[in-house]
Every structure is written in C-alpha cells, then in structure tokens.
Amino acid sequence: MQDFKLLTRQLLETYLGSDTLSKVEIQDFLASNASVIGTGKQEFFKNIEHFLNSFKFDVEKRKNIHFEFKDLEIEENIVDDQCVFVYGSVKIYGLYDKEVTIIHLDSRFTIIYGVRDGKWKVLHIHHSIPDKEQLEDEEFPITLGKQVQQARHEVEALSAGYSYICLINLETGDVELIKGNNIPGLNGRYTQMDHNILLEQVNRLIAKPFRQSSVEFYDSKTIAKRLEGKNSLFHTCERTDGTWILSMIVPQKYDENGRVVSVLLANRDFTEEKKRELEQEEALRQEKIKAEKANEAKSIFLFNMSHDIRTPMNAIVGYSQLMKKELTNPKLVHYQEMIEQSSKLLLSIINNLLDMARVESGKMELDENYEVIGNISQLVCSAFAAEASRKNIELNIIVNVEHKHIIVDSTKMQEILSNLISNAIKYTSAGGKVTIDTKELPYDKEGYVLIQTKVTDTGIGMSEEFLPSLFELFTRERNTTLSKIPGTGLGMAIVKNFVDLMNGSIEVESELGKGSTFTITIPHKIANKDYTNRNIESSNEFDNNFVGKRILLAEDNELNAEITTTILSEMGFEVKVVEDGILCVNEIQHQPANTYDLILMDIQMPNMDGYKATHCIRRLLQPEKANIPIIAMSANAFEEDKKKAFDVKMNDYITKPIDFQKMEEALKHILSK
C-alpha cells in the first residue's frame, strides 16, 4: 500500500512552493474535484515593511517568499482499501528572499486520500492555524468535501469538529441527519425539508440582525446556483443566546452534467473564535481612534502655532523692509539682508511643517485658477535671483509650449518649483549653473495638456544609495551640521505629495559631484479662450496711483498696524486704524458712504473677529456700504481659513507675514474693478 507519510511530505513541499493550485505539480496530487480549504490566523513579523499594515497573506507576494516546514507529525487512519484519512501538525515558515522569517504558522491539517483511476489522489485538504493554547486536546476542524460520499463511517470519522451535520438532497429537499439533534418536525432519517419550519427555527435561534442572511444561506433552492465555481459556502451568525455559530455547505454529489445535487451542511460553535476576532477588531478600532486623536491634536497644535509664529514674524519682516529703505551704511545693509534672509528661511520652515500637517491630516485640496505657463517659473526664479547672483550661479529659464494658458493650483505649483529651485541653488557651488526647462509633451486626453519641467543643476549631487529615501519625511543625505546648509528634510516630501495630488509624476537623476535633475510631469486643464481673454484684460491698465484712496485697517496688534500703515502711506493711501471688529463695523455705519475705498480686515481680533465683522457689514442696508471691498489679512494660512473668508463674501485673502508687493497687486486688482 502507498506510504502516506512520504506522500504527505511530498504534497506539503509541492503545495507550499506553488503560487496557485492550478500548477501541474499540484494537479498530479489532486483528484479532479479535490477541494482545498484553510482557516485560521497568520502571525506577521515586522522585519519587512511590505507586511507591516497587512492582516492577510497575499499570494501575489509569494514570488518574494520561500516556504519551509519543520516538526512534521503525521498520523494515518486506513478506512478501507479505497480511502485513507491522514492528519497531523507542522510548523510552516515563510522566508523573505530565503533569509528573513516574516511568517510563522503553527498549522494542523486533515487530508483524505482515495483511489482514482488506479492512483492514490488527494480528495480533500483542510488546514487550520489555531492559537498555541488550543493545540492540546482539541479535535481537528473538519472540512466535508464533495468527494466524501464513499462511506458513512468516513464522514463520521471526519465529523468530530462539528456539532451538527446533515445531508441535503437538493432535488427532493430531503434531509438526512448524520450528527447532532434532529430539528423538531423532521422525524425519521429522511424527511422532506419544510421551509416554514426552517423560518421558525431561524427566528427562534438566530439573533435578529442575522435572520435574513441565515434564511438566504440555508435556502436549499439556491444552494446549487451559489456553489457554481466554488468548493464551499460559509456563514457566521450570532444566536439569540449570545453564542456564535459557523455553518459550512460543501458539495456531496454531482449529476452527469456537473450540477450539484446533494450537499453536506455542518455547524459548529464559533463563539471563542468570534470573541477573539471582535476583541481584535475593537483593539484595532481603539488604536485607530487614538491615532486619529493624536494626529488631530498635532494638527491643531501646528495650526495654532502657525498663527502665533506668523504674527511676530510679520513685525520682523515688516520692520526689516522699512529699515532697508533708510540704511546707507554698507555694514548695516548687510546686517539687514541677513535678518531678511533668516526670516525667509524661518518662514519656509514654518510653511513646510504646516504643509506636511495638512497632507497627513488628509485636508490638502487643490485650489485651481488661471495661469500662464512659464510665469510661475519666472516668479520663483525672480525670488532666488539675488541669491544666485551672490554665488555667481547662471540661472536659465527655457519655455517651449504650444498651449500656454492653463488651469492650475498656482500656489502649490509655486511651492513645488520653489523647493526644487531653492535646493538647486543651495547645493550648487559658486560659478555653477541651474536650468529650468519647461516643455509640452504629446497627450491624448481632450482639453488637457501634459507639461514636463526639468530642474537641472551642476551641484554636489546625491549618492545612489540615498535616492530611494529622498522623498521620505525628515530625510537628508547630509544634516545641517555636516553640510552647513540649513533645511528640515521636508521639502522633497512636500513636493512628492503635491505632485501626486495633481496626478503627476516626479523622477530624479543624480550623481555625487555631478549634479541632479528633477523631472516633474503634470497634466493641466487648458483654459478656454473666454476665460483666458477675461484674465488677460483684467490684468491690464491700472496706473497704481493710490493717492487720495482711503483704507480702513482693522488690526489689533500695534506693531503690525504701524508697519502696515507706514507701507500703505508710502503707496499713497490714507489709512485709519481700528482695534477690533466692533469698531470697524461702527466706523462704516457712522461715516458717510464712500468714505473708505477698501477695508483691510484682520481675522483674529478681540470683541469681534474679522469674519463676524464682515458678515455685519455685508448686511448693512445701504448698498454702497454693504458692498465695500474687504481684504482679509490674517496669520491663519490654511485653505479652510480662506474658504471661510470667501463664504462671508470677503474679496481677497492675504497671509502674514505680509508680502507687500503681493498686497500692492491685490489692492490694484480690487480697486481697478
């Protein structure tokens, strides 16, 4: 007779080494209708990042995993000369790249061998992975396959794990009780199944949320259809007494056309497993809640810090710009430039931290508007022109596109290019070269244009080993102390997230000592002609003569009020300052209409904030007063803050520290209407 212990060892080796059950090697072992079912849990170790967030094994990843087994124990039970029942236990190890253990399974198995076409074939495999404390003195869970109709004693030998087993004839509806208590009303070994009795039993035994699904599962009229292409059907439900039951239906017999004509239905208590499953789900839910709360707390902290930091930053930057106009001593001019340079760096760090907080919180959204391709590159390069000039770095801009007018989130696009160009200049030695090359690529999506921008430098470059981690948070190849170049390690992570948000791609080529090339490719919607012409016309013809124009400035911070008043006065405006929203509303109410041409409204003020003040003004009865232009001027720099401003019908939004050139452009735009 066949050596079933050797055959089982060979089967396990082939089974574990195959990606699918359709492999020829596996098919040599299996009968034509063999079923393979596994249940239980798997233990994952944190050695490989691929598996950190996974709770089930993905067979697609088997190409990286080599399986081995140890401590194989096998027992066999010869039913007759046509059927053998083999069972045992084994420890299975999954080795990543044949070195690192990432999966460990303490598995038990049940195998039924039968003679088919003169050869011993596998009729059925069932394997389970129990908790270690369950390994002793527990019967094997049983899978009742479609081949197990050879003999009644074979079924009984396999039924130890189930409290109830019956045979259902799908053609007649007859039910044969094999194990367990008979259902009241079904007397005798073979009895016609009564659907009303089934409904009564389900309503009496099964908890209400599971009754409908249970009726559908046990419905003998639909079982054959539901089993098409499947080896088994499973259903779990809670009973009215609080326990859980696992039900399984497997084919038992087929007709000459391959249609299932009888099935085995088996039930077993599932309470302990379900309890552990629910406890695990609850633990995971609690961990998720904790993580979400921690992330929310971090975001709130960063948002609050943003406002508190930006307010004094506005004073530092503003007074620095005012001081610059009065200085003649070269040494003092140099000191002022260093203050301004450090302020910009500090503001850049704050912006990066806040951008990452936005990305991690999932609140980052696109705010698209009209733009001309090349303008953003030109604007960013202008901001870094002085630094490039100091280092004698050649800064080149190349634009070669057919469709120039696009719809894009210009703020995020500006930040992408700012990070790339800033790094290129920062890491390029004196006398080097930085090139920003923008061109249009072929694209078949109607109404869109595909734009590729390459930022190339002749700087210090990066090692091949560092490149895979370039876009990770807080990652730098050389820290500030070693390189003497300041930075947070956030810029590239932000660039990658923004590019992904725009459905684009980013690639990098670099070599130590030979420079780097960053290539970003992003699709943009083409702006239609009417929209393009409207924006071109709106940018034309305003003489910037603000003399005689009057502004009401609502600002509670004295330093910021002084700086803003000074700058606006130099532009030609007459400025009146009020300290809170209530005073702002009162001033508009009590002064004649058209006294002020525009309001600059701080947001966070005592007594009444800028949003409420704007809301009150917009509700005034006199249209001339209610419709006065209002520009928000706030240290809150997030999209939802801007949205709230526009929701109360503010006309524009300026963030602190104030870029007075941008403020002048905003004033020009508003007052030209």
pLDDT category at 509 given cuts 50, 70, 90 is very high
DSSP per position, 434-451:
EEEEEEEEP--STTEEEE
Confidence (pLDDT) at 149: 35
Does residue 134 sit in helix, strand or coil?
A: helix
DSSP per position, 271-324:
HHHHHHHHHHHHHHHHHHHHHHHHHHHHHHHHHHHHHHHHHHHHHHHHHHHHHH
pLDDT tens-digit map of 401-410 = 988 899 998 8
Confidence (pLDDT) at 541: 46
Confidence (pLDDT) at 118: 81
Contacts of 473 (CB under 8 A, 6+ apart): 356, 489, 490, 493
Confidence (pLDDT) at 303: 67
Confidence (pLDDT) at 142: 34
Q: CATH assignment of 1-141, given 3.50.50.60, 1.20.210.10, 3.10.450.50, 3.40.50.300? A: 3.10.450.50
Task: Specify the CATH architecture of the domain 365-538.
Answer: 2-Layer Sandwich (3.30)
Q: Does domain 550-671 have CATH number 3.40.50.2300?
A: yes
What's the whole-number average pLDDT of the chain?
A: 77
pLDDT category at 292 given cuts 50, 70, 90 is confident
Number of H helices, E strands in the chain: 19, 24
Does residue 639 sit in helix, strand or coil?
A: helix
Contacts of 572 (CB under 8 A, 6+ apart): 545, 546, 547, 548, 549
CATH topology of domain 162-269: Beta-Lactamase (3.30.450)
Closest of 351, 369, 371 to residue 359, by C-alpha: 351
pLDDT tens-digit map of 169-193 = 888 877 777 676 654 444 434 445 5
Give the mean model confidence (pLDDT) for residues 562-588. Answer: 93
Q: What is the pTM of this model?
A: 0.44
Is 34 a residue whose pLDDT tops 80?
no
What residues form DSSP beta bridges with 456?
435, 517
Highest mean pLDDT among 25-34, 262-271, 516-525: 516-525
DSSP class of residue 668 equals H
Give the mean model confidence (pLDDT) for residues 115-120. Answer: 82
Is 151 a residue whose pLDDT tops 60?
no
Highest mean pLDDT among 103-112, 368-377, 618-627: 618-627
